[in-house]
């Protein structure tokens, strides 16, 4: 910082103040009295010093990102433990090393963009980078709400290489049936019931593994999904809401046989498991991968069976509102967003009904055109 006085031009008797502060330079003519110019220069220098001290105190009050993030994620929130676990992992592994010691108001949009681009270059998938972005967005949005910053630099920031939902590649109806046939012979059909349930209800694997016989209504042919299993902990479903899903007759009979088997085992002195499917997600996943490979089918994850259920139903022309409910989506718009590309082209019969009022001379050419 510098505040100086001098004559300009030299020997003219006109005194000027020259200010060089924080990279900014300004000058102002004071008059012909050197003493006045010197007094003004002292006052300006004092104000600049006080301003700098104020900014330092203000800056000291703004928390660092890690400190503030720990505060935000310690607050009560309707957030799944599995989601919080993912956030913690991303914070410790990626975010804190980059931004942990930066003050909230010092984080710029370009810093975040370069950070996400770096993760992409390192080979992280767009979906993973999105899970890195989410906790940053939550923290910065909270900082906006508490007026620490005016706006979030993360808002609207895109992830390099992000793909649309057409990357979802479910099993076709025929492939799903081939899979089920293969599962029947794997470990004496040990995993048949759980994989059938995933394909016939669209339940998430955690929801399936949390089911007990009390959740099955054989008379009403429904399953109550009110909980999910994550790391041996039973908690609420993803959106926090319970739902009843319908059972097909095939699934009903398979579960009824499985229940009878469990009761027979209990009658022999064996303990009756609390859960219908006493498996881990990994064991079911390994069974799925092996059966898909042996059947000569493409590889899909357990969650791909959920996508398969939805796409098969929509391809059959079932209402998207019911599919959305059975999946447990919080909003039907999410179902549209993920599965809308399986809907177009499947309702031509309904569209053709608009032509039923046409007379024969007009209807015939339309029919022949369709046959071509």
Segment 179-191, tens digit of pLDDT: 999 999 999 999 9
Segment 210-230, tens digit of pLDDT: 999 999 999 999 999 999 998
pTM assigned to the model: 0.65
- The pLDDT assigned to 59 comes to 53
User: Measuring CA to CA, which residue among 222, 227, 245 is closest to residue 237?
Assistant: 227
* Strand partners for 135: none
- Is 115 a residue whose pLDDT tops 60? yes
> Does the N-terminal peptide bond of residue 71 adopt cis geometry, omega within 30 degrees of 0?
no
- The pLDDT assigned to 2 comes to 76
- The pLDDT assigned to 86 comes to 92
Segment 27-69, tens digit of pLDDT: 778 888 888 888 878 877 777 666 655 445 545 578 999 999 9
Q: At what angle do helices 65-74 and 81-90 cross, to 10 degrees?
A: 170
User: Measuring CA to CA, which residue among 247, 261, 272, 263 is closest to residue 196?
Assistant: 247
- Is 21 a residue whose pLDDT tops 80? no
Per-state percent for the chain, helix, strand, coil, to nearest 5? 60, 10, 30
Segment 256-288, tens digit of pLDDT: 999 999 888 877 777 767 899 999 999 999 999
User: Measuring CA to CA, which residue among 237, 229, 238, 236 is closest to residue 280?
Assistant: 229
- Is 166 a residue whose pLDDT tops 70? no
Task: State the CB neighbour count (10 A cutoff) for residue 90.
Answer: 19
Q: Which residue has the tokens 């099993």?
A: 171
- The C-alpha atoms of residue 254 and residue 256 are separated, in whole angstroms, by 5
Segment 233-264, tens digit of pLDDT: 888 888 778 999 999 999 999 999 999 998 88
What phi and psi values does residue 217 have, to the nearest 5 degrees? Answer: -110, 95
Region class of 15: left (phi > 0), else alpha (psi between -120 and 50), else beta: beta
Q: Which of 80-94, 310-324, 349-363 has the lowest mean pLDDT?
A: 349-363
């Amino acid at each position: 910082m510098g505040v100086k006085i001098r004559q300009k031009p030299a020997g003219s008797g006109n005194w000027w103040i020259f200010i060089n502060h924080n990279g900014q330079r300004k000058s102002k003519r004071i008059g012909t009295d050197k003493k006045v110019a010197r007094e003004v220069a002292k006052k300006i220098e004092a104000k600049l010093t006080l301003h700098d001290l104020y900014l330092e105190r203000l800056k000291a009050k703004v928390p660092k990102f890690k400190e503030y993030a720990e505060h935000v994620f310690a607050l009560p929130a309707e957030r799944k433990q599995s989601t919080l676990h993912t956030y913690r992992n991303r914070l410790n592994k990626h975010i804190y090393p980059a931004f942990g010691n930066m003050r909230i108001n010092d984080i710029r949009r370009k810093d975040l963009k370069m950070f996400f681009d770096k993760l992409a270059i390192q080979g992280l998938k767009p979906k993973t980078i999105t899970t890195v972005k989410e906790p940053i967005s939550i923290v910065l949005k909270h900082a906006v709400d508490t007026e620490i910053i005016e706006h979030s630099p993360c808002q609207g920031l895109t992830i390099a290489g992000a793909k649309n939902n057409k990357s979802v590649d479910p099993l076709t109806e025929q492939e799903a049936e081939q899979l089920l046939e293969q599962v029947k012979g794997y470990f004496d059909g040990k995993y048949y019931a759980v994989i059938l349930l995933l394909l016939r209800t669209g339940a998430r694997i955690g929801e399936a593994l949390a089911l007990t016989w009390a959740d099955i209504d054989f008379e009403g042919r429904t399953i109550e999904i009110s909980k999910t299993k994550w790391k041996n902990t039973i908690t609420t479903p993803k959106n926090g809401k319970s739902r009843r899903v319908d059972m097909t007759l095939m699934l009903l009979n398979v579960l009824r046989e499985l229940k009878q088997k469990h009761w027979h085992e209990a009658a022999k002195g064996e303990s009756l498991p609390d859960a219908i499917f006493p498996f881990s997600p990994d064991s079911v996943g390994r069974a799925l991968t092996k059966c898909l490979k042996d059947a000569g089918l493409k590889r899909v994850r357990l969650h791909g069976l959920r996508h398969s259920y939805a796409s098969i139903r929509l391809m059959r022309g079932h209402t998207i509102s019911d599919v959305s409910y059975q999946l447990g989506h919080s909003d039907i718009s999410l179902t549209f967003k993920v599965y809308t590309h399986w809907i177009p082209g499947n309702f031509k019969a309904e569209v053709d009904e608009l032509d039923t009022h046409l007379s024969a001379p007009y209807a015939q050419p339309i029919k022949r055109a369709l046959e071509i």
